Chain A
Amino acid sequence: MTSPPLLEVEGLTTTFDTDGGTLTAVDGVDFSVDEGETVCIVGESGSGKTVATESITRLVREPPGRVAGTVRFKGRDLLAMPDDELREIRGDEIAHVFQNPQESMNHCYTVGWQIAEALRVHRDVSDDEARARATDLLDRVGIANASARFDDYPHELSGGQKQRAMIAMALVGDPDLLIADEPTTALDVTVQAQILKLLDELQAEFGMGVLFVTHDLGVVAQIADRIVVMYAGKVMERGGVLDVFDHPAHPYTRRLLDCVPELGGDGGGIPGTLPDPRDPPDGCRFAPRCAHAEPACRTDGQPEEIDVRPGQRVSCVHYRDGRDPSVLGEDPAGAGSDSNEVTSGDD
């Protein structure tokens, strides 16, 4: 019997009340992260990845947001606990790194002050101790001359340096889980590689579980242990990164991999657009854009997840008992051979 996962998310549902009706951004999503493991949530923009991760520690603004389901972290349900208890966990046991380092720091305070703040709100430390720890981390995340940069304001740092500082801020409480939401998206390519390498090293050093959100499958290949493919607020497929990359089962995963030239795809997009989150299609969310959709795909909600390989599960009717998944094309291994067959969706 293995120990329970570090983070266990079940039936996570996040809705937003808008003037145009209730918008369901995340719809009954399950996933888990083990200690020291990296799990990547992938999917195109608007698929609910960010909202899902921000719902874990209830960073989502409530109202208009509403988060339901259970999020067990070290056995405690984060969604059921009072705010002040959850606040103890935020930034201490669970830390976040966000997408846009340019906007994620307050322009009125020095970088060091903001890093030290994360420590000060959780521990009773002296100014000197907080400064020493923050400087130490700035140094650790690769900022040269850290003790001098402590007193710099965010606008005096480059984008890459800012993201390094944000990572230092996240690590200051020695978290058990790091949630990184597209931390490299706003950075240029050379810096991206450095930040990824840094995160990889830090994960080993700090022994953290990492939940990594990205739409960049090239990044996933580098860092992930397991991957969760999301589309329109639902999980389409999940599994070990090698299994999913070598044997993508869901048509959406296959299309997604086709989009990445580095993985052997043709770099083309997926025709059609995401469904309206206020009025999602019945049946499989991807059916309107799927070349292999049939009547069974359009009713009875998102199909149940079916094991296709140990640890790899897919939500697609074609894998049900008695069905032949080869209609989806032979296991493409990311070759992107049949992308021409994709028809445009329902619009």
Chain B
Amino acid sequence: MGFGRYVVARTLWAAAVSLIITTITFLLLAAAPNPQVQEAATQAALQGGDPAEAAERARELRGLDEPLYVRYADFVRGVYTLDWGWAESRSQPVTEALAQGLYYTAQYSVPWTILTVLIGPLVGVYSAANMYSWKDHAATGFAFFGYAIPNFFFGIILLLIFGVWLEAIPIVYNTDVPVFSVRNAVQLAVPVFVLVTGSIGAIMRVSRNESAEFQNADFMKTAKAKGVSPLRAYAYHVMRPTLVPLSTTLVGQLLALFLGSSLLVEVVFGIPGIGRVTYDALIAQDTNLVLGSTLAFTFVAVVGNLLEDIVFTVLDPRISYDDR
């Protein structure tokens, strides 16, 4: 099987996974009692009406009296046509609420992802090249520190130091600032720094250990014998094979952080991003919005894994596309 067919097959599989996730979500939702129907019944009972009739009416109103397969078809169509329903708590469509959150999330997520992807492997390979020297130990110490300290806790400490004591950064995120401005960069610097330290540790460690293996490989001796300079040898002959195992760690790490820590960091720094939107929806028990953000995160993960698999095969020519 050629590369093109592999990509198509893998993409179809990702689509199938997303459908499975959607189906499971639907089944859970169908099995759970609908709070709005219960509310209608309670209201009716309080006002002396017939709770059963009121519940029936509420169900009809929301199409819940339809057979399961019709509701399933509607649900799936809704998910894939981005008709994700109405967010009660925010009085706007779910997709719009998510898009607004994404606008702020992207402002700090894009910088920290780029920084992590650029700096992590470089420092890791540098660490391996200077293994067991003070430079390596310093990088390792930094990696473990970032890896070990919880992001939200580190964020609070930095906010205390730079926001409260030094008054160098605003304590509460200001949404009125233009996206591309010094003030926005200043107020996002600390959350970006926190997320980079959190994500870079694992990537540095994996790059260091993988490249340690490759820098002692026979092909490095071949490269040296060819007259290749050390810098070129590391850039081409160590970095490239290191990226293969690293690509799996990288995507996993970035996704975990994007889906998990972002929320905590947004809450700490008061950024009205997608994590914050989800958090508020949970508090307000806004089912549609919670569902929407969950699905959004899940689809990001599915797409991330798809990219990871494709990148992996591009990076390592030995991986065969057969039997997949």
Contact = CB atoms under 8 A, between A and B. Distances in A.
B222 A105 contact: yes
A90 B218 contact: no
A87 B227 contact: yes
A211 to B, nearest CB: 13
A108 B218 contact: no
Interface in B219-235: 219, 221-229, 232
Nearest to A95: B225
Interface magnitude class on chain B: 20 to 34
A91 B219 contact: no
A173 B224 CA distance: 14
B316 interface: yes
Interface string A305-328: 000000000000000000000000
Query: Taking chain B's interface residues, is the majority helix, strand, or loop, or is none over half, making it mixed?
Result: helix
Contact of A89 (B223, B227, B315, B318): B227
A106 interface: yes
A59 interface: yes
Contacts of B219: 103-107
A104 B221 contact: yes
A345 to B, nearest CB: 33
A107 B318 contact: yes
Interface string A25-65: 00000000000000000000000000000100101000000
Contacts of A110: 317
Given A104-B221, A108-B317, A90 B237 contact: no
B141 interface: no
Query: Taking chain A's interface residues, is the majority helix, strand, or loop, or is none over half, making it mixed?
Result: loop
A169 B218 contact: no
Which of B227, B241, B318 counts the most chain A CB atoms within 10 A?
Answer: B227
Contact of B226 (A54, A91, A108, A153): A91
Nearest to B243: A108
B224 A59 contact: yes
B217 interface: yes
Contacts of A114: 222
Contacts of A121: 226-229, 232
Contacts of B225: 57, 59, 90-91, 95-96, 98
Contacts of B232: 121
A108 B227 contact: no
B240 A108 contact: yes
Nearest to A102: B218
Interface residues of A, number: 32
A88 interface: yes
A122 interface: yes
Interface string B174-206: 000000000000000000000000000000000
Interface string A70-102: 000000000000001001111110011010100
Which of B221, B225, B237, B244 counts the most chain A CB atoms within 10 A?
Answer: B225
Contact of A106 (B224, B229, B237): B237
Contact of B217 (A89, A103, A155): A103
A122 B225 CA distance: 12
Interface in A123-164: 153, 155
A117 interface: yes
A67 interface: no
A169 B219 CA distance: 12
B229 A108 contact: no
Nearest to B237: A106
B172 to A, nearest CB: 48
A213 to B, nearest CB: 14
A104 B241 CA distance: 14
Nearest to A155: B318
29 contacts: A87-B227, A87-B229, A89-B227, A95-B225, A96-B225, A98-B222, A98-B225, A103-B217, A103-B218, A104-B222, A105-B219, A105-B222, A106-B222, A106-B237, A106-B241, A107-B219, A107-B316, A107-B317, A107-B318, A108-B241, A110-B317, A114-B222, A117-B226, A117-B236, A118-B227, A121-B227, A153-B317, A155-B318, A166-B222
**Interface pairs A-B: 7 shortest CB-CB:** A91-B227, A91-B226, A103-B218, A96-B225, A90-B227, A118-B226, A106-B219
